[in-house]
């Protein structure tokens, strides 16, 4: 993700575009996991897939723009892109919580909580590492 800050029209370098593509792929894989595990517990896998794929681009793009804004010390843009990335990250999980409310087992709630914490923490740490890396 080093070249994310490279300017290419939209301000997202080829590495940023690759990151956005990777997030789309991850969204599809995650939907394939949700299908058999939560499909019988009120979670419609098609709706989850639509939400997950629809929020993949704002999530990844928001992270890329967040790093760029932080390196430029544009704190207003940092705030905006942080909200965009966080909302897009949480939207698929929020759907699971709403749709599966009352139908999910305690184990499912624990797993969802662990996933949100693990992936959220990993995402924050990755963004911070990119912000702190020397500009290319």
pLDDT of residue 135: 62
Mean pLDDT of 21-46: 78
Q: pLDDT tier at 6 (50, 70, 90 boundaries)?
A: very low
Q: What angle do CA 51, 53, 55 make, to 5 degrees?
A: 65
Kindly write down the DSSP assignment for every residue of 38-52, as one continuous string: HGGGT--HHHHHHHH
Q: What is the pLDDT of residues 42-91, one digit of tens each?
A: 888 889 889 988 998 899 889 989 999 999 999 999 999 999 999 999 99
pTM of the entire predicted model: 0.76
Q: What is the pLDDT of residues 86-128, one digit of tens each?
A: 999 999 999 988 988 888 888 888 888 998 999 899 889 989 9
Assigned token pair, 11? 């301000």
Contact 51, 98 (CB under 8 A): no
Q: pLDDT tier at 12 (50, 70, 90 boundaries)?
A: low
Q: pLDDT tier at 11 (50, 70, 90 boundaries)?
A: low
The Cα–Cα gap between 66 and 84 comes to: 9
The Cα–Cα gap between 51 and 28 comes to: 11
Contact 59, 51 (CB under 8 A): no
The Cα–Cα gap between 94 and 89 comes to: 9
Contact 16, 1 (CB under 8 A): yes
Q: Give the domain range for residue 53.
A: 2-132
């Amino acid at each position: 993700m080093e070249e994310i800050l490279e300017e290419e029209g939209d301000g997202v370098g080829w590495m940023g575009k690759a990151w956005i593509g990777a997030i789309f792929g991850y969204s599809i894989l995650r939907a394939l996991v949700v299908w058999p595990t939560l499909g019988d517990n009120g979670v419609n896998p098609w709706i989850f897939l639509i939400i997950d794929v629809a929020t993949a681009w704002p999530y990844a793009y928001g992270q890329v723009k967040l790093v760029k804004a932080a390196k430029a010390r544009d704190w207003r843009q940092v705030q905006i892109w942080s909200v965009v990335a966080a909302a897009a990250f949480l939207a698929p999980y929020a759907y699971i919580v709403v749709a599966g409310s009352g139908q999910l087992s305690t184990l499912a709630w624990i797993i969802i909580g662990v996933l949100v914490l693990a992936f959220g923490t990993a995402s924050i740490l990755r963004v911070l590492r990119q912000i702190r890396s020397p500009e290319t």
